[in-house]
């Protein structure tokens, strides 16, 4: 039904979990099918040292979430910001009809994750400036 790569990611479900005091966190809901993707990172020095996800959804939603956490681990925020939806789709390989939307949701969660990281950084900088 799904290709080997998707099955691998889905079944291993590596990096599942939450990070309590994350440097960046996001939550996106796919309104078409109701799936929910949450992403978390630790990136104190601008390099992602830990990436986790929690996903409610179909195998593709779960596989795409795992893929993102795998792709961003060890990368700098700048490196992550150039990841595109096409990169994800290419990594996942062939998808059944209608499943691209699930990957788009995961990509939206990544974009929101970066925005959340930025916001937190700016807040931190403000605190530093004030002190």
Partner 1 sequence: MERKVFLDSASTTYVNAEVLQEMLPVFDTVYGNANSLHNFGRAANELLDKARDRVAKAINAKASEIYFTSGGTEANNWAIKGLVYANNLKGNHIITSQIEHDSVLETFKELEHEGFRVTYLPVDKNGIVNLANLMHVLSSNTILVSIMTANNEVGTIQHINAISKTVKEKGILFHTDAVQAFSNLKIDVKELNVDAMTLSSHKIYGPKGIGALYVKRGVKIKNLLIGGSQEFSKRAGTVNVPAAVGFGKAAELAIRDMKATNDKTKNLRDYFIRELKNHITGIHINGHPIQRLPHIANVSFDYIDGESIMLMLDLDGIAVSTGAACSSGDTKESHVLRAMGVPTELIKNTIRFSFTKRTTKEEINYVIEKLEVIVKKLRDISPLTKRIKKER
Question: Which residues would be at the binding site for partner 1 (CB under 8 A)?
Answer: 1-2, 10-11, 13, 16-17, 27, 33-36, 38, 53-59, 61-62, 97-99
* CB closer to partner 1 out of 34 and 130: 34
* CB closer to partner 1 out of 65 and 77: 65
Task: Give me the catalytic one of 6, 95, 102, 103.
Answer: 102
* CB closer to partner 1 out of 10 and 107: 10
Give burial (CB, 10 Å; 0-12/13-18/19+) of 122.
exposed
Alpha helices in the chain (DSSP H): 4-12, 59-72, 77-81, 85-92, 100-130
Q: How many CB atoms lie within 10 A of CB 119?
A: 11
Does the annotation mark 33 as catalytic? yes
Does the annotation mark 58 as catalytic? no
Q: How many CB atoms lie within 10 A of CB 38?
A: 19
Minimum distance from residue 31 beta carbon to partner 1 (Å): 11
Catalytic residues: 33, 102
């Amino acid at each position: 039904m799904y290709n080997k790569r998707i099955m691998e990611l889905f079944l291993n479900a590596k990096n599942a979990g939450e990070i309590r005091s994350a440097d960046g966190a996001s939550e996106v809901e796919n309104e078409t099918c109701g799936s929910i993707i949450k992403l978390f990172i630790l990136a104190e020095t601008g390099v992602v040292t830990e990436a986790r996800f929690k996903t409610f959804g179909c195998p593709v939603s779960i596989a795409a979430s795992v893929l993102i956490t795998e792709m961003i681990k060890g990368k700098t925020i700048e490196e992550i910001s150039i990841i595109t939806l096409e990169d994800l789709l290419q990594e996942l390989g062939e998808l059944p009809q209608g499943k691209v939307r699930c990957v788009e949701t995961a990509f939206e969660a990544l974009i929101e994750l970066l925005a959340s990281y930025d916001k937190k950084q700016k807040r931190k900088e403000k605190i530093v400036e004030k002190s």
